[in-house]
């Protein structure tokens, strides 16, 4: 590879490291061209799988500021899955493919500038994808909004019942007060008549 080509390759890898949300380093020794094509399809449209040269990748990782332990993983035939979308979805694709094709070995990766071990990437693959989480969130919000709408719809009926009960209670109290006043008036009249009869006698 000519020097100009090496410079261009390093620049491209550096840009990929910087623009990607994650990068997973793998060893593909023993995989056929057809299997590599199948792997690329399994990663989805938001990830690219590229065979890289270790020396140039080390330079690019250093230029991108993500070198660290990543350079130690760059041994043997290396390929990197650069993820531009959901990292969990790409991790699932790599994990599932490596289970079916043991020749693909996940060496590690970088997520948001942090170096990840193979175990951490497998654990990442066990998480729910962004689409599933968004769907669950939308469902929860829809259910919450439906509950709130039902509550608001029931408010007029509830208020009407409360007012009716309050009016009924107030009416009953007023009736009892009137009956008490009538009884007191009758007692006062009877007492007055008795007093007048006594005076005449």
Are 62 and 113 members of one domain?
A: yes
Quote the pLDDT of residue 68.
72
Residue 162 confidence (pLDDT): 59
Same domain for 122 and 137?
A: no
pLDDT tens track, the chain, 201 positions: 778 888 999 999 999 988 888 899 999 888 899 999 899 888 877 888 989 999 999 999 888 887 776 778 888 889 999 988 788 888 888 989 999 999 999 998 888 778 888 888 888 888 865 554 455 456 666 666 655 565 556 556 655 665 666 677 676 654 444 444 554 444 554 444 444 444 444
Report the distance separating Cα 94 and Cα 122, nearest Å: 9
First to last CA, the chain: 144
Please identify, among 95, 127, 159, the residue that sits at the C-terminal boundary of a domain.
127
pLDDT score of 157: 64
**Are residue 76 and residue 170 in the same domain, yes or no?**
no
Burial class, 110, CB count within 10 angstroms (exposed 0-12 / middle 13-18 / buried 19+):
buried
If asked whether residues 87 and 52 sit together in one domain, one would say: yes
Same domain, 173 and 120: no
Point out the domain boundary residue: 77, 101, 127.
127
Residue range of the domain that includes 154? 129-201
Residues 107 and 134 in one domain: no
Buried-exposed string 34-50: b where 16+ CB fall within 10 A, e elsewhere: ebbeebbebbeeebebe
Same domain, 107 and 141: no
Q: What is the predicted pLDDT for the residue at 199?
A: 44
- In the chain, the number of structural domains is 2
Q: By the 8 A CB rule, do 117 and 108 touch?
A: yes
Q: Domain holding 54: CATH number? A: 3.30.70.1730
Q: Which residue has the tokens 């899955």?
A: 81
Q: Which of 67, 96, 127 is the last residue of a domain?
A: 127
Residue of 21, 3, 184 lying closest to 110 (CA atoms): 21
> What is the per-residue pLDDT for 128?
60
Of the candidates 45, 41, 61, 63, the residue with the CA atom closest to the CA atom of residue 53 = 61
- 87-100 vs 118-125: helix axis angle to the nearest 10? 110
Whether residues 133 and 123 share a domain: the answer is no
The per-residue pLDDT for 8 is 92
């Amino acid at each position: 590879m000519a020097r100009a080509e090496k410079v261009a390759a390093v620049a491209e890898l550096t840009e990929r490291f910087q623009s990607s949300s994650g990068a997973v380093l793998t060893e593909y020794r023993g995989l056929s061209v057809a299997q590599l094509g199948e792997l690329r399809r399994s990663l989805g449209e938001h990830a690219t799988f590229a065979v890289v040269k270790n020396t140039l990748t080390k330079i690019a990782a250093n230029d991108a500021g993500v070198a660290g332990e990543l350079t130690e993983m760059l041994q043997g035939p290396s390929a990197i899955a650069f993820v531009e979308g959901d990292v969990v979805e790409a991790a699932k694709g790599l994990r599932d493919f490596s289970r079916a094709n043991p020749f693909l070995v996940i060496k590690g990766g970088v997520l948001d500038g942090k170096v990840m071990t193979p175990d951490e990437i497998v654990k990442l693959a066990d998480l729910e994808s962004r689409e599933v989480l968004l769907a669950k969130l939308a469902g929860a919000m829809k259910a919450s909004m439906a509950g709130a709408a039902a509550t608001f719809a029931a408010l007029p009926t509830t208020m009407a019942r409360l007012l009716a009960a309050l009016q009924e209670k107030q009416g009953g109290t007023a009736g009892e007060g009137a009956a008490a006043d009538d009884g007191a008036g009758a007692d006062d009249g009877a007492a007055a008549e008795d007093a007048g009869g006594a005076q005449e006698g």
